[in-house]
Amino acid sequence: MASTVLVVTALEDVTADLVVAALNEREVPVVRVDPADIGPALTFGFRIDPDRAEWGGLLRTTSREVELREVAAVYWRRPTPYTARFAHLPRQQGDFAAAEARHGLGGVLHALSGARYVNHPAAVARAEFKPAQLRTFSRLGLRIPPALVTNDEQAAREFAAEHDPVVCKTFRGLPAGDDGRAGAIWTQRVDPETFDDTLAVTAHLFQAEIPKTGDVRVTVVGRRVFAQRVTAPDGALDWRRGDWNALLHTPVTVPPPVGTALHAYLASFGLVFGCFDFALTGGGDLPEHWTAIECNPNGQWGWLPDAPDIAEAFADVLAVEVEKEGCP
C-alpha cells in the first residue's frame, strides 16, 4: 500500500522545507532525497520483473529508507545537478558518471507507477520554453505582449519601430560562472540604435513594453489560486531586480475567466502547479487588464506572504494520494 511522499530536492531548499513541515503536521510519511548524493550516502537496489510491470526496491539515505512501491506522491523540487557530484573527476569520466546516474537512478525516479508528481520533471522541461508559454496563453484567450524571437538585426529593428518602446528578456537564467554562482539578466528596455550584427550570435526575445499599472504573481496549486500584487518601491521595470524584502504585497482577486485559463494552461502541460506572472493595465478587475508574461513551472513562492497557505495547498494535493491509497 502506497503511503509515503517522496520529496526530491537539494539539502538547502526553504520552499521544500515549508511543504515537508505541512506534511509532518498531518503525520504523512515523508522521505527527502537529493539524487546527486548518489554514493555511500544514497544507495538503492531497484528491480522490475516480467510478472510485475513496475519498479520496486529500496532507496536508502543516511537517515531514511523507502520501498519504491510505497511512494504515493512525489514533490519534485530542485535537486542538485548530477554533474556537481562528479565535478572532481576528469571531464569525460565525470560526464559519463553523471549521465549514467541521470538515466539510471533518475530514470527510475521518473517512472514510479501510480505516483502523483508535483510536478513531473519531464512536464516541467516541456513547460519551460517561453515561446510555447506565449502560444498557449494566447490560444486560451489570455492577453499577451507582442513578441519577437530573432537573431536578425533587421527583424529586430522593424519590430522595435512597430512597437516602441521594446524590452528584451532572456529565455533562461544566467548559468553558473567559474565561482559556481548563478545569476540573472533582468527585463530591460532596449534602444534600437544599439542593434547590430552581434544579434546574429544567438536567439533574443523582444517584447512590446506593456504600459502596466502593476504586477501580479499568481500561484496555482491544484485547484487553489493565490494572487498577490507586487509593487517595487522604486518602480522598477522588473520587480525581481531589487531587494525582495522591500517589495509590497497586496492580495488581489483573479477574474474568473483568467483563473479558468490558468487551470487549462496547467492541464495542457500536465502540470499540477505553476507560478504565473502578469502585468496589469487599468484597475485589474477585468480580464482584459491582465497580460500574461510567463509561467515558471517550478517557481519559488516561499517569499510570498501567503506562503503558509500555499504550503498547505501542496500538502493537500500530495497527501490526498496517500489517503486514497489508504482507503479500503
CATH number, position 64? 3.40.50
Q: Enumerate the H helices of the chain as residue ranges.
A: 14-25, 82-85, 91-109, 121-127, 130-139, 153-163, 256-269, 307-326
Whether 284 and 138 share a structural domain: yes
Closest by Cα among 70, 81, 80 to 30: 70
Whether 79 and 181 share a structural domain: no
Residue 105 domain flag = yes
Whether 133 and 259 share a structural domain: yes
The mean per-residue pLDDT over the stretch 223-234 comes to: 91
**Which of 209, 242, 263 represents a domain boundary (last residue)?**
209
pLDDT tens across 175-200, in order? 777 666 667 788 999 999 999 999 99
Whether 21 and 65 share a structural domain: yes
Whether 51 and 181 share a structural domain: no
Q: How sure is the predictor about 1, in pLDDT bands with cuts at 50, 70 and 90?
A: low
Which SS3 state, helix, strand or coil, does residue 189 take? strand
CATH number for the domain including 140?
3.30.470.20
Q: Which domain holds residue 228?
A: 125-144+210-297
Residue 23 to residues 75, 245, 302: CA-CA distances in angstroms?
11, 27, 16
Phi, psi of 105 (to 5 degrees): -60, -50
Answer whether 259's CB lies under 8 Å from 276's CB: no
CATH number for the domain including 169?
3.30.1490
Residue 303 domain flag = no
Whether 203 and 91 share a structural domain: no
Whether 154 and 198 share a structural domain: yes
Average model confidence (pLDDT) across the chain: 93
Residue 130 to residues 69, 172, 187, 276: CA-CA distances in angstroms?
36, 9, 14, 12
Q: Is the pLDDT of residue 5 over 80?
A: yes
pTM across the whole model: 0.92
pLDDT of residue 118: 97
CA dist 69 and 56 (Å) reads 6
Residue 133 domain flag = yes
Domains in the chain: how many in total?
Answer: 3
pLDDT of residue 327: 46
Residue 293 domain flag = yes
Whether 137 and 267 share a structural domain: yes
Residue 304 domain flag = no
pLDDT of residue 237: 84
CB-hemisphere CA count at 13 Å for 302? 13
Whether 203 and 255 share a structural domain: no
Whether 180 and 315 share a structural domain: no
Whether 280 and 218 share a structural domain: yes
Whether 174 and 86 share a structural domain: no
